[in-house]
Amino acid sequence: MQNKKHVLGVDIGATLVKVGLVEKGGKIVSKTSFLTKKFVSKKAFIKRLIEEIGQVIKNNRRAKGNLSGIGIGIPGTVDYSKGIVHNLTNIKGWKEVPLKKILRKFFKTPVFIDNDANAFACGQLKWGACRGAKNAICVTLGSGIGGGLIIEGGVYRGSNYSAGEIGHICIDINGPGCGCGSKGCMEAFVGNKYIINRVIKQIKEGRKTSLVDMVGGKLQKITPELLTKAAKNGDKFSIEIWKETGTYLGIGLSGLVNVLNPERIIIGGGISKAGKFIFTPLKKELVRRTMNQHLKALKVMRANFVDEAGITGAASLVIENK
């Protein structure tokens, strides 16, 4: 970071945009957020984004003249080198937007834009659980499965910056349809929506669970958080659902371990808060299915920064380029 000690990280989520000022070591010293969905037009969204970034900088006297760049994580596909965001769900008219150019012109500081999973992996590598690793698979579990690959000590982005889509490996030829257009993808077993769909389906088929009372019979109100709460209270059905989910994840990841021979798997994202309920079956399946030599090199770890991993990840994109 040379002499400039602060970096700005922007985590654009499907529902919330988080902006944070990050200092050495990944510590967030100031942050704010606003709702993504409120903005329907591209223009209004970019205007608000610039205002919020400006506000965070203004609010921190230490940041003035001391900002080494802005890093942005996007839930979509990005041309990393040009800083063009191909698509951004929820924002009307968003197509091939040169966000890097726009922000660089306004803030007169270097700007780096990548998809959120790569940003997450970069943050874990620079400041988090992935530090010191040569090769790793970084996973964010949420509405989708994000993947960021660390290869030979750096973020690996692939031939047109699209690498890391680990949710879209097929683990079941006869599996359910996936949002990507394929069938039986790991995401179609482990993504938020699919877990909840499985839960609701089984409850409707007559499975008994304390979840029903927890949501007053309104099944569409069931969330992964409630599923974890129920599991902690000993609800057998919820424990079983997490076990299934961890197993599916282990099936997919074991294949990737056989291919990539990483020394670490880093797991983050909302779903990872299920803790041992998902980690125990995941590790068991990895042991069961991974080849011996590969297993010897491997450690499975939880990500650092939890809910802030998006901001620190985005900020780390600036550090990556120093």
Residues within the interface to a second copy (CB under 8 A): 77, 86, 134-135, 147, 149, 151-152, 156-166, 168-175, 180-183, 185, 248, 251-252, 254-256, 258-263, 288-291, 293-294, 296-297
Q: Give the shortest CB-194-to-a second copy separation in angstroms.
A: 14
**Which CB sits closer to a second copy, 8 or 74?**
74
- Name 139's bridge partners: 147, 267
For residue 287, the minimal CB distance to a second copy (Å) is 11
Contact status, residue 26 vs residue 316, Cβ threshold 8 Å: yes
CB of 88 to a second copy, least distance (A): 15
Compare residues 171 and 230 and give the one whose CB is closer to a second copy: 171
The answer to whether the beta carbons of residues 309 and 120 sit under 8 Å apart is yes
Q: Of 165 and 235, which has the nearer Cβ to a second copy?
A: 165
Q: Which residue's CB is nearer to a second copy, number 91 or number 171?
A: 171
C-beta of 158: minimal distance to a second copy in Å?
3
User: 73 or 167: whose CB is closer to a second copy?
Assistant: 167
CA 179 to chain centre: 17
Residue 236, both tokens = 């057998």
CB nearer a second copy, residue 98 or residue 184: 184
Smallest distance from the beta carbon of 166 to a second copy, in angstroms?
Answer: 5
Hey, how many other C-beta atoms are within 10 angstroms of the C-beta on 30?
18
Angle at Cα 177 formed by Cα 172 and Cα 183, nearest 5°? 40
Answer for the pair 103, 117: CB distance below 8 angstroms, yes or no. no
- Cα–Cα distance, 226 to 193 (Å, whole number): 14
Q: How far is the CB of 29 from a second copy (least distance, A)?
A: 35
Q: Which is nearer to a second copy, 134 or 193 (CB)?
A: 134
Tokens of 318: 């600036």
- Residue whose entry in the numeric block shows the structure tokens 């949501």: 215
Two tokens, residue 299: 């450690």
C-beta of 232: minimal distance to a second copy in Å?
28
| Coil, helix or strand at residue 17 | strand
The rounded distance, in Å, linking the Cα atoms of 121 and 56 is 24
Write the DSSP string, 205-270: TT---THHHHTTT-GGG--HHHHHHHHHTT-HHHHHHHHHHHHHHHHHHHHHHHHH--SEEEEESG
CB of 161 to a second copy, least distance (A): 8
| Residue 114: closest CA among 320, 314, 319 | 314
Which residue number, 18 or 168, has a Cβ lying nearer to a second copy? 168
